[in-house]
Every structure is written in C-alpha cells, then in structure tokens.
C-alpha cells in the first residue's frame, strides 16, 4: 500500500482543487430551480471518473441521474462504493460566513455545501481508486461506484435501479462501502453499524379562505396556527416523549453489548451543549445521549410557518399553517406503519373547526449490521491503516435511505465507514470537511479496495 | 342639507377617482421599504385638503407624520375627525385578484389595500367637508382633521401629539368622530360603542446556534419549534379558553342591555362560516358569537415561523422559532398587566433546554362609551340621514389605539360611525369598499358636521 499512500500524499493539493470544483455545483436535489445544477454536477463527476480511468456513465432514473463508474477486477465479484452528489438546500443563506457554493479552505478545513455530506466523503473513494490505478496492478475484485443524486430529496431512482439490477449488474456484489456519516470524534474513526430510519410528513391546517383581521374575527374563527401548535404539542411534549399511540410498540430494546459500548464511549454532553450554544442537552428520560441519538426514535419539526412572518406586526388570523415533520425510527419500526399511526392520531386530535391536509413525504427503514462480519472487519483494518488509530462501533442517528434497500435487495454486508465529524455542520450553514479526514479517508478507501477479495 | 347631499351625488365620479389616487400610495407603515410611500401619501392628502379649502399641514412625529386639516367654525369649539392614511402590508400578494395598490372598481365595490381600512372611510369625511364648504355658510364649530400614519404599526406619534396639545390646540374639543370600523351588515349602519384593546408580543425560542441535522442530533437537542408549539398550546387549547393564570381576572361581565342587544341582532354563524369557507365558527364556550367578538378577550397567533419553509424537505432541527401573538382585551383588562402575566407564564412553561426572547409589541386599552351621549345621538341621526336606515349599537372586535388616548386625554365623547363591511377584507387580500357606503358615509359625515354645535 505504500505506493498508493505516497501517491495520495503527493497529489493532495490537486485532489483538494478538484474537490473544490465538485463543490461549486449547487446540486440541491430538492429544489426545481437547481435541476440544471444537479445535471451539470453529475456530468462533471462522470467525466472526472473517465479521466482517472474508470468506465463511467450516467444512468437515467425517474428523477436525477445516477453516476456509475466501473473498474474491472481479477474476479467478477463486485465491491460497490455508494455516495451521493446531491446536497441539502443552502438556506439560511445569511448565516453562511463564506458563500455555500464557492468553497474556501481555512485552518485545515474545506467550507462549502456538500463538503462533508457527501461530496467530500465520496470523492475520497474516487481519489482512492485513482491512487490504486496509478500504482497497482489489477485489483482483486471489480469496484463499482454508484453515486446517486436523490439522497437529500427522497427520490427513488437508485432504489429502482437496485431492484432492476439485482440479478444482473449487481448479481455478484459482495459488499457495499458507504462513507456518508461521521467518525466518533476528531481522533477516533468509526464503523457505523446501525442507522435510524425516517418517516416524514407535512401537516397543513386550513382555516379561513384568506388571512382575516384578528380583531374583527378573533373569538369566532379558529386559528390554524394555534390549532397546529396544539397538534404538535399533542404529539410530543417538552419531555421528549412521543405521545402518538403505539409509536414505541415495535422499538427493539438495546442489546447488552450496545449498552456497554455506549458506557465505554463516555460521550461528553456538556461539550455538545457548548458547541451548539444551548443551555443543555435534552431528550427522552432514562436513556444516555448516545442511546437517544442512535437507538431511540424521535419526532422533530423541521420547519413551521403560517400567517405574517415579516417585519413588524400584522394582526391577522392566518388562513393556514404548515409543519414539516420528520421522525427518526429504530428497529423494528416500519415507516408506513408509523406514518399511518401518526396520521390517524393527528386527525383524532385536530379540532373540527379547521381542516387538515397530511402528506406522506417518504420513509426509510432502520438498519443494523452484525459487527463480526468479514467485510466490516476489513473496514476496521482499513481505517486503522488510513488514520493510524483503532476505530470504534457507533450508531448513526440519520438515515441513508438506500442503505436499507441495498440491505434488503442484495443481502450483502454494508460497511459504513464515515470520515465526517459531528461538527462538520451537515445540513447546516458553514458545512465543512476536515482536510486530514479527506486524505486519510482516501487512504482507508484504497486499503479496503485493495484488500477485499 | 339637500344642497350638500346633491353636491355629493353630483361629484360622485370625481370623488371616486380621487379616492383611487389616494389608494395608489403603498403607505405600509410597518415596513421600512415603504417609508417614502408613507411620506408621499401624507403629502398628497395634505395638498388635497388645501385644494378643497382647509388649512392643512404635516405634523412631524417620532414616526410617520400626522396630516392636520382645519376649517374654522362659528365658535372655537372643535369637532375632531380622526382617520389613518397608513395601511396593512399587502401580503400574501399572490392571493390578490387585482394589484393591491392599483385600485379597481367592480360590481359596486372599489378594490385595493386601504379601501375600507381606512383611506376610503376617512376620505368620505374629507368629501363631506368639501360638500359643506361648497354649499353652506360657516359651520357651527371648527372641524379639525387629524389623520395619522401609524395606526397599523403601533407608532406613538398621534398619542404624543394629543398629550402635548391637550391644553392647546385640543383644548376646546367637544368630540371625536372616527370612521374606521364596520356597519352591522350591508343594510344596517351602526354606532360602535365599544372597542377591544390589544396586547401584542413576539416570542422567539432559541435552540442550537444554527440549524442542525435532525438525524445526527435528534433525541439530544431540544427542538425550538416543538418547544414553541408546546408554549402556545399551554397558552390556549383547542377549546378557545386562554390558560394564562389571571388572564380573565379583570374581565367585566356584560351588562343586561348588551346581552339583550346581542340576542336581538341574531347573528348568523352559518353565514360567516360559509363566507370564510370554514367548517364552523368556534370559540370560548358559553358565549354567543357577537359576545365572543366584542366583549370577550382572545389569544391569537398572527404568524409563526422557524426552520425550513421551502419546497421539499430538509431534515433539520431549527436554530429558532418565532410566534407573533396578539391578544384582544376587554374592559377592565390592562395591556401592561396582561403582557406581564403572559411573559411570566410563558417563561414558566418554557423548557430549560432552550432560551427565550419575548418582545412587547405594544398595547391598547379597551374602551366603552355611553350610548345616551348627545354626540352619539347626533351620530345616530347622521347615519339615518346618510343611509336612510336606523342604526344599531355594536361592539368593535378590533382596536383603534388612539381612541383610548382621545378618551383618556380629552375626556370627550367619541363617535365611532364606521361605514365598512365585515366582508370588506380589512387586513386581508382583495380588500374592498362598497361605493354606496363611501357616498352615504360622506352624507352622514356632512350631516354630523353641520349639526354639531
């Protein structure tokens, strides 16, 4: 591996410039106005893969295209490298210290939307294969990049592709590598052995046909914003306990080793509170923070709006109010069942003087992998080689929708070896990626690809 | 009065054109970007008053100017005509069928922001004095127009002016005429003998220093939007009962004649529900709709916002969430006491894992007038002369901040003779003003000015 690692070190500056180029595409998949940026970004990545010697193509889907890159191996067995080139919306724009799509390097970090989630992390693997192609003979097995453009918008393009190709292109897949998650901390790389699922919905409470004067009508017209507030409060109190009947029914208890693992990791709540400038961490009582982050479900309002939101005041009763809600799920909760329970409950608590619209915004099943699997152990060794430190096993609080599809359809091991940091600000303003992690991640990727047979 | 009434009928088309000109100014007092429009609007009104023969001037204040217009009478006793030339913000703009500041006449109504609230109603009095000046000798007493530009933004300019001038310019005021409210229905003019007060506040719940990933942090970071929802739900349930301790303590019971009056008026709840396309009217149990609109206090969220409000989804925990709240007050509630009770209660129910900002957005005291006052009786006669129908006594659900100041400082009768309709859409998209009410309102104004001694 020395030659490949030297190549990575020797080409570090160029790799960074290329990553900056990749970050300049505003590939926000959830917003129609960025459709062309998404397409341009996919085309750039395909061209780049070709430039470094992969056989690359764009796979059309019902939504944004998948970038596919292949590199033949000594056998027909395939190792899939998953990533996504789409990014979250950049707003609130005024909280960015540098432009989200004009990446800037500062103090060992690269700042820009997508830096860590997931362009930087997937690009480490692109640079890994480049280093192997330039310094080694043919790899033991085929490397197949599948880089989607719909991770942040809940599209089904890659899911459909996996289902279609499971007995064709994906027949000989022996495992999937995913770097779209975090290390445990700045010093400690990690294998993420579980991911929470997700169920998302949008609730709109409709009142009068237009905003009306709160003086003239206050007292006789139901207020959609206060009704929505009551609905949300009926779903979750200030104690973090979710009040939707049956919501916890299918939640699997943590295993003994998971409880011990969390105890040993000794997570620093106060440090997190300091980092995020909050008075204290909080959540469901009876569970330590890491358990609440990894193994317990949640109910969060991602956005709420209704009525007058401008400067000054406007004494109206709003015509409507909307909440975007997402719930994180854990084994063995099922997104569709949770959606149904939630919808029924919300309808039952909604007052009869307003009307409701509830939209299902998609779901992802939670997943858990056995840590003693051979591919996961190869991941542990690769992280040791790339970072020079022993990794730990962690859970992932977020969801990677396609991971549950890979898991269900291909029934092969999936190695989640993220090289981001919790403090990278994924989905937040001033998202960044530590340059050392980019380089060490490329080394770990190269180690893994060279050693999987 | 015949000559004045004939003058009004004969000049109707020109009056309407002038009113349209007046409506073209986007005099939105709450928004800095419309500052110049507010100033231009005041200047236009002053010039117009001069053109019709008043001695007019702009009175500078701490905020937007007051337009003052005077017409000497046979005595030094003064009748004040109050109005406001500022308007509510126009949003939601996309719900307007015609541009808010490009007035359009259709089916006997004039459409545009400010048409009924309050440009159209105050302009009826401007046209009333014009008709008297063109057709009569000197009026019995001086007519003093005080038209403010801060009614919709809670400014204190006119309040300060009244306090400064109470023993000077306003020493001999015998009454104040206000047309900034509604008739009872399309056939029935009304004297508004009470106005609810108001206490407004803005509550911001602060969480993490920026929006954070709801996967990574969901379960450990308190969500400001769900905290805000719980705070609102703690203030008011879905049954319309306000839960702030002590909130109802000072509420005066309705008088017997008020209860009888409401019974006789026989308000049609179903008609209102149909008009506003709501399933049903609602509110505090045990009180008929007119009692809830006029004589019971309210708690309304006028606007709520936090987190991601764009297209698609964004799985974040918002950094903060804000609610703009207004409470309508009735005798003998005091805005400052209500604000204090509300602030204390919100602080007491707010969870300790978020921080709170509560801003006092101003208050107005509720007022009630004795209906047997001579000036109010002159108003009843004027409405009979202008509209040809008997008026009824009604309460006003909204607040006219300056009315309580006039009442407290000048201790003279105040006649609220509104010529708007509940369906005019004050504060809403597609605000309008019935042209017949403009003309009949001008006649009623002329009758009153000519007959007050």
For residue A234, the domain's CATH number is: 3.30.70.360
Q: Is the pLDDT of residue A66 over 90?
A: yes
Q: How confident is the model over A30-39, as a mean pLDDT?
A: 96
**A303: which 2 tokens?**
């956005």
Q: How confident is the model over A93-120, as a mean pLDDT?
A: 97
| Per-residue model confidence (pLDDT) at position A51 | 98
Q: β-strand B190-195 against B392-396: which pairing, if any?
A: parallel
Asked if A308 and A386 sit in the same domain, the reply is: no
Residue A204 falls inside a structural domain: yes
Cβ partners under 8 Å of residue A141, min gap 6: A73, A74, A75, A76, A77, A78, A79, A174, A452, A453
- List the single residue in A30, A399, A428 with the smallest CB-CB distance to B212: A428
Beta-carbon contacts below 8 Å between A and B: 393
Q: Do B232 and A225 touch (CB under 8 A)?
A: yes
Contact A213, A118 (CB under 8 A): no
| Per-residue model confidence (pLDDT) at position B256 | 96
Q: Tell me the shortest Cα–Cα distance from A215 to chain B, in angstroms.
A: 4
Q: Is the pLDDT of residue B91 over 90?
A: no
Cβ partners under 8 Å of residue B348, min gap 6: none
Residue B166's CB is within 10 A of a number of other CB atoms, namely 17
Q: Do A305 and B300 touch (CB under 8 A)?
A: no
Q: Please tell me the distance from the alpha carbon of residue A357 to that of residue A346, in angstroms, as a whole number.
A: 10
CA torsion, ordered A209, B299, B234, A305, to nearest 10 deg: 40
Residue B265 falls inside a structural domain: no
Instruction: Tell me which residue of B437, B451, B452, B449 sits closest to B124, measured CA to CA.
Output: B437
Q: Do A313 and B425 touch (CB under 8 A)?
A: no
ipTM metric: 0.85
Question: Is the CB of B93 inside 8 Å of chain A's CB atoms?
Answer: no
Q: Do A280 and B223 touch (CB under 8 A)?
A: no
Question: Is the CB of A360 inside 8 Å of chain B's CB atoms?
Answer: no
Question: Is the CB of A9 inside 8 Å of chain B's CB atoms?
Answer: no
Question: Is the CB of A428 inside 8 Å of chain B's CB atoms?
Answer: yes
The pLDDT tens digits of the residues spanning B143-162 come to 999 999 999 988 899 999 99
Percent of chain A whose predicted confidence (pLDDT) is above 90? 93
Instruction: Tell me which residue of A155, A158, A82 sits closest to A118, measured CA to CA.
Output: A82
Asked if A206 and A68 sit in the same domain, the reply is: no
| Per-residue model confidence (pLDDT) at position B404 | 87
| Per-residue model confidence (pLDDT) at position B194 | 95
Q: Do A314 and B300 touch (CB under 8 A)?
A: no
Q: Do B313 and A283 touch (CB under 8 A)?
A: no
Instruction: Tell me which residue of A208, A212, A243, A246 sits closest to A227, measured CA to CA.
Output: A208
Which three-class secondary structure state does DSSP give residue B308?
coil
**A90: which 2 tokens?**
């950049």
Q: Do A222 and B278 touch (CB under 8 A)?
A: yes
Asked if A302 and A446 sit in the same domain, the reply is: no
| Per-residue model confidence (pLDDT) at position A158 | 97
The CATH number covering residue A137 comes to 3.40.630.10
Asked if A401 and A421 sit in the same domain, the reply is: yes
The pLDDT tens digits of the residues spanning B55-85 come to 999 999 999 999 999 999 999 999 999 999 9
Chain A residues 40-79 with a CB less than 8 Å from chain B = none
Q: β-strand B392-396 against B355-364: which pairing, if any?
A: unpaired
CA distances from B68 to A238, B59, B80 (A): 53, 7, 10
Q: Do A308 and B303 touch (CB under 8 A)?
A: yes
Residues from chain A that touch B318, judged by Cβ atoms under 8 A, are 301-304
| Per-residue model confidence (pLDDT) at position B154 | 80
Q: Is the pLDDT of residue A269 over 90?
A: yes
Chain B interface, best mutation among A211, A220, A276, by max B CB count within 10 A: A220
Residue A284 falls inside a structural domain: no
For helices B224-235 and A224-235, the axis angle rounded to 10 degrees is 110
Asked if B226 and B173 sit in the same domain, the reply is: no
Give yes or no for a cis peptide into A332 (omega within 30° of 0): yes
Contact A63, A150 (CB under 8 A): yes
Asked if A139 and A149 sit in the same domain, the reply is: yes
Q: Place A285 in a pLDDT band, splitting at 50, 70 and 90.
A: very high
From A364, A388, A412, give the residue that closes a domain: A364
| Per-residue model confidence (pLDDT) at position A16 | 98
Q: In terms of C-beta density within 10 A (0-12 exposed, 13-18 middle, 19 or more buried), how is residue A11 classed? A: middle
- A112 sits in the region (left: phi over 0; alpha: psi -120 to 50; else beta) called left
Q: Is the pLDDT of residue B422 over 90?
A: no
Asked if A114 and A211 sit in the same domain, the reply is: no
Question: Is the CB of B286 inside 8 Å of chain A's CB atoms?
Answer: no
Residue B163's CB is within 10 A of a number of other CB atoms, namely 14
Residues from chain B that touch A396, judged by Cβ atoms under 8 A, are 215
The pLDDT tens digits of the residues spanning A413-453 come to 999 999 999 889 998 999 999 999 999 999 999 999 999 98
Number of domains in chain A: 2
| Per-residue model confidence (pLDDT) at position A137 | 87
Residue A158 falls inside a structural domain: yes
Q: How confident is the model over A161-165, as a mean pLDDT?
A: 97
Q: Place A154 in a pLDDT band, splitting at 50, 70 and 90.
A: confident
Asked if A152 and A213 sit in the same domain, the reply is: no
Asked if B210 and B233 sit in the same domain, the reply is: yes
Q: How confident is the model over A378-396, as a mean pLDDT?
A: 97
Closest residue in chain A to residue B320, using alpha carbons only: A303
Q: Do A304 and B299 touch (CB under 8 A)?
A: no
Q: How confident is the model over B204-225, as a mean pLDDT?
A: 95
Cα radius of gyration rounded to whole Å, chain A: 23
Residue B81 falls inside a structural domain: yes
Cite the beta strand spans of B154-196 per DSSP E. Answer: 173-178, 190-195
Question: What sign does the dihedral B211-A323-A309-B205 (CA atoms) show?
Answer: negative
| Per-residue model confidence (pLDDT) at position A155 | 87
Question: Is the CB of B102 inside 8 Å of chain A's CB atoms?
Answer: no
Q: Do B354 and A427 touch (CB under 8 A)?
A: no
Question: Is the CB of B403 inside 8 Å of chain A's CB atoms?
Answer: no
| Per-residue model confidence (pLDDT) at position B204 | 98
Q: Do A312 and B229 touch (CB under 8 A)?
A: no
Q: Do A302 and B283 touch (CB under 8 A)?
A: no
Q: Is the pLDDT of residue B311 over 90?
A: no
Q: Do A214 and B302 touch (CB under 8 A)?
A: yes
**List of long-range contacts for B354-357, beta carbons under 8 Å, 24+ apart:** B354/A278, B354/A279, B354/B205, B354/B206, B354/B207, B354/B222, B354/B224, B354/B227, B355/A279, B355/B205, B355/B206, B356/B203, B356/B204, B356/B205, B356/B206, B357/B202, B357/B203, B357/B204, B357/B206
- List the single residue in A301, A317, A422 with the smallest CB-CB distance to B226: A301
Chain A interface, best mutation among B32, B34, B84, B220, by max A CB count within 10 A: B220
Question: Is the CB of B4 inside 8 Å of chain A's CB atoms?
Answer: no
CA distances from B357 to A281, B224, B247, B309, B404 (A): 19, 12, 21, 21, 29
Q: Is the pLDDT of residue A104 over 90?
A: yes
Question: Is the CB of B427 inside 8 Å of chain A's CB atoms?
Answer: yes
Asked if B173 and B37 sit in the same domain, the reply is: yes
Cα radius of gyration rounded to whole Å, chain B: 23
Contact A282, B351 (CB under 8 A): yes
Instruction: Tell me which residue of B417, B370, B382 sits closest to B396, measured CA to CA.
Output: B417
Contact B5, B12 (CB under 8 A): no
Q: Please tell me the distance from the alpha carbon of residue B376 to that of residue B191, in angstroms, as a whole number.
A: 8
Q: Do B284 and A234 touch (CB under 8 A)?
A: no
Residues from chain A that touch B226, judged by Cβ atoms under 8 A, are 232-233, 236, 238, 299-301
Residue B258 falls inside a structural domain: no
| Per-residue model confidence (pLDDT) at position A149 | 97
Within chain B, how many helices (H) and strands (E) appear? 14, 18
The pLDDT tens digits of the residues spanning A192-251 come to 999 999 999 999 999 999 999 999 899 999 999 999 999 999 999 999 999 999 999 999
Q: Tell me the shortest Cα–Cα distance from A98 to chain B, in angstroms.
A: 15
- List the single residue in A229, A293, A309 with the smallest CB-CB distance to B232: A229
Chain A interface, best mutation among B115, B209, B215, B298, by max A CB count within 10 A: B215
| CA B400, chain centre distance (Å) | 5
**Average pLDDT over all residues of chain B:** 96
Instruction: Tell me which residue of A237, A205, A236 sits closest to A222, measured CA to CA.
Output: A205
Chain A residues 306-335 with a CB less than 8 Å from chain B = 306-319, 321-324, 326, 328
The pLDDT tens digits of the residues spanning A113-127 come to 999 999 999 999 999
Residue B69, strand partner residues? B56, B145
Residue A341's CB is within 10 A of a number of other CB atoms, namely 17
Q: Is the pLDDT of residue B322 over 90?
A: yes
From A336, A364, A392, give the residue that closes a domain: A364
From A364, A392, A420, give the residue that closes a domain: A364
Question: What sign does the dihedral A400-A405-A408-A414 (CA atoms) show?
Answer: negative
Question: Is the CB of B216 inside 8 Å of chain A's CB atoms?
Answer: yes
* Residue range(s) defining the domain that contains residue B206: 197-251+297-364
Residues from chain A that touch B426, judged by Cβ atoms under 8 A, are 213, 216
Q: Do A301 and B399 touch (CB under 8 A)?
A: no
Residue B44 falls inside a structural domain: yes
DSSP string, B10-71: HTHHHHHHHHHHHHTS--BTT-GGGHHHHHHHHHHHHHHHHHTT-EEEEEP-SSSPEEEEEE
Asked if B205 and B235 sit in the same domain, the reply is: yes
The pLDDT tens digits of the residues spanning B331-379 come to 999 999 999 999 999 999 999 999 999 999 989 999 999 999 999 999 9
Residue A417, strand partner residues? none
| Per-residue model confidence (pLDDT) at position A319 | 97
The structure tokens 């799509």 sit at A101
| Per-residue model confidence (pLDDT) at position A404 | 87
Q: Please tell me the distance from the alpha carbon of residue A304 to that of residue A322, in angstroms, as a whole number.
A: 6
Chain A residues 72-91 with a CB less than 8 Å from chain B = 88-89, 91
- List the single residue in A222, A240, A308 with the smallest CB-CB distance to B302: A308
Asked if A302 and A223 sit in the same domain, the reply is: yes
Q: Is the pLDDT of residue B400 over 90?
A: no
Instruction: Tell me which residue of A149, A113, A143 sits closest to A52, measured CA to CA.
Output: A143
**Average pLDDT over all residues of chain A:** 96
Residue A286 falls inside a structural domain: no
Q: Do A212 and B427 touch (CB under 8 A)?
A: yes
Q: Place A311 in a pLDDT band, splitting at 50, 70 and 90.
A: confident
């Amino acid at each position: 591996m020395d030659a490949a690692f030297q190549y990575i070190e020797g080409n570090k500056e160029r790799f960074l410039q290329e990553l900056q180029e990749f970050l300049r595409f505003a590939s926000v998949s959830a917003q129609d106005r960025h459709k062309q940026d998404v397409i341009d970004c996919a085309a750039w990545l395909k061209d780049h893969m070709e430039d470094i010697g992969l056989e690359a193509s764009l796979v059309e889907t019902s939504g944004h295209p998948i970038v596919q890159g292949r590199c033949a191996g000594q056998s027909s067995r395939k190792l899939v490298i998953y990533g996504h080139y789409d990014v979250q919306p950049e707003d609130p724009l005024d909280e960015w210290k540098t432009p989200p799509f004009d990446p800037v390097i500062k103090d060992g970090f690269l700042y820009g939307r997508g830096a860590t989630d997931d362009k930087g992390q997937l690009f480490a693997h692109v640079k890994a294969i480049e280093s192997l192609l330039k310094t080694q003979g043919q790899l033991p097995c085929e490397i197949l990049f599948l880089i989607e453009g719909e991770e942040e918008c809940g599209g089904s393009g890659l899911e459909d592709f996996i289902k279609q190709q499971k007995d064709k292109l994906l027949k000989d897949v022996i495992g999937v590598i995913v770097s779209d998650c975090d290390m445990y901390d700045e010093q400690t790389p990690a294998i993420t052995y579980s991911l929470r699922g997700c169920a998302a919905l949008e609730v709109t409470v409709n009142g009068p046909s237009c905003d009306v004067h709160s003086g003239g009508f206050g007292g006789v017209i139901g207020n959609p914003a206060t009704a929505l507030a009551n609905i949300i409060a009926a779903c979750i109190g200030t104690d973090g306990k979710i009040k939707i009947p049956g919501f916890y029914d299918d939640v699997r208890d943590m295993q003994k080793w998971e409880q011990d693992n969390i105890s040993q990791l000794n997570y620093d709540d106060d440090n997190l509170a300091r980092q995020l400038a909050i008075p204290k961490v909080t959540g469901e009582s009876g569970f330590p923070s890491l358990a609440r982050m990894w193994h317990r479900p949640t109910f969060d309002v991602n956005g709420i709006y209704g009525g007058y939101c401008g400067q000054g005041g406007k004494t109206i009763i709003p015509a409507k109010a909307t909440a975007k809600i997402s719930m994180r799920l854990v084994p063995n909760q099922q997104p569709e069942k949770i959606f149904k329970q939630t919808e029924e409950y919300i309808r039952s608590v909604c007052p009869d003087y307003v009307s409701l619209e509830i939209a299902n915004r998609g779901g992802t099943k939670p997943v858990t992998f056995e840590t003693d699997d051979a591919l996961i152990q190869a991941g542990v060794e690769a992280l040791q080689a790339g970072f020079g430190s022993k990794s730990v096993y962690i859970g992932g609080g977020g969801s990677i929708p396609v991971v549950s599809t890979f898991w269900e359809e291909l029934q092969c091991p999936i190695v989640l070896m993220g090289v981001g940091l919790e403090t990278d600000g994924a989905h937040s303003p001033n998202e960044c990626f530590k340059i050392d992690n980019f380089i060490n991640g490329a080394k770990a990727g190269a180690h893994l690809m060279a050693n999987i047979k």
